[in-house]
Amino acid sequence: MHISKLRSRSLIALFVAAFPLRVVDAQLTKPSPDTVPGAPLFTSRDLIRAVGFTGLTIAMFPLDRSIARRLTNERSKANRFLNGASKGVEYIADPGSIVIGTSLYLIGRFTNHPNIEDLGWHGTEAVLLGGGTAWVLKGLTGRARPFVTGDTTAHDFKFGGGFGDADRQAFPSGHTTAAFAAAAAVTSEAERMWPHHFWLVAPPMFGGASLVGLSRMYHDKHWASDVALGAAIGTFSGLKVVRYAHAHPKNFLDRAILRTELIPGPGGPGVAVNASFPLTLH
């Protein structure tokens, strides 16, 4: 019972902190202000999100050990359903987020559906940005994973220790970062394309991302604070990638990726790629 309540509370805390508060925007038929040309990259809502995530991460530090012990006890580990389900959601996050994003991009490109192409590329871009940020922080902080210390020491940090040592790459959670980056990017694009259906997309996306974070704690790979920071990095990566891309539709990456032409290859089957890069030679 205690384990069940703890999981529920942890899931609710992650979901509430990460979920973008867009009740008003979701009811409007006009495009989201986050995705109109010329929109500023950062707004007051970002400050609210940052304060929420910072508070959640700090609040998790004193609870890291107790949460880890309760989620990884023998009774919990013996549950076959939890073992199978947790592995499944992790695969969906990594490498699934990249595979799904790339597939959507290719489907949209080959079937001439720009919105699907846009969704796939920006989701992938957000995951790459979030993953890169998380990798740098993992290396710099060098935090030991829970299983390394037997869930006894949650504050074993070593500056630079995470570069080259996988056992010291706990802070933040990379899987959680990828899951929340994909969730944030997809929901932002959904709000832009289908404003009336935003609430059909956001809950399962962020709910699934929260489950990824819980699964990483369940497998004793991350502390709760690792997951909270990963959720923060992922959410901001997804929101900012989509916001910047639509506020600056002529940015280099979008012009290179989304305006690539696929034409039949000469002399037989195959495809030739004709990319129009935004470069001017003098």
Please tell me the distance from the alpha carbon of residue 245 to that of residue 41, in angstroms, as a whole number: 10
pLDDT of residue 262: 44
Report how far residue 52's alpha carbon sits from residue 44's, in angstroms, rounded to the nearest whole number: 13
Q: Kindly report each contact of residues 246-254 with a partner whose C-beta sits within 8 Å and lies 24 or more positions away, as own/partner.
A: 246/34, 246/35, 246/36, 246/37, 246/39, 246/192, 247/35, 247/36, 247/37, 247/38, 247/39, 247/40, 247/41, 248/37, 249/37, 250/278, 252/277, 252/278, 253/125, 254/121
Entry pTM: 0.79
53-68 burial, b for 16+ CB within 10 Å, e for fewer? Answer: beebbeebeeebbebb
Q: 66-75, 108-117, 181-190, 238-247: lowest mean pLDDT where? A: 66-75
Nearest to 31 by CA among 227, 176, 246: 246
| pLDDT value at 66 more than 70 | yes
Q: Report which of 130, 155, 193 is spatially closest to residue 60, judged by C-alpha positions.
A: 155
- CA dist 44 and 147 (Å) reads 39
Q: Report the pLDDT value the prediction gives residue 197, as an integer from 0 to 100.
A: 77
3-state secondary structure of 224: helix
Peptide bond into 172 cis (omega under 30): yes
Q: State phi, psi for 99 to the nearest 5 degrees.
A: -65, -45
- 9 — pLDDT class (breaks 50, 70, 90): low
pLDDT higher than threshold 90 for residue 261: no
Total count of residues recorded for the chain: 282
Q: Is the bond into 249 cis (omega within 30 degrees of 0)?
A: no
**What is the pLDDT, as a whole number, of residue 62?**
95
Distance separating alpha carbons of residues 211 and 86, to the nearest angstrom: 8
pLDDT tens digits, residue range 196-247? 877 888 999 999 999 999 999 999 999 999 999 999 999 999 999 999 998 8
Q: What is the rounded CA–CA span in Å between residue 97 and residue 103? A: 10
Which amino acid type is present at position 44?
S
Query: Which position has the token pair 């390394």?
Result: 148
Q: Do 213 and 14 meet the contact criterion of CB atoms below 8 Å apart?
A: yes
pLDDT in tens, 27-60: 333 445 555 666 678 888 889 999 999 999 999 9
Cα distance between the two ends of the chain: 70
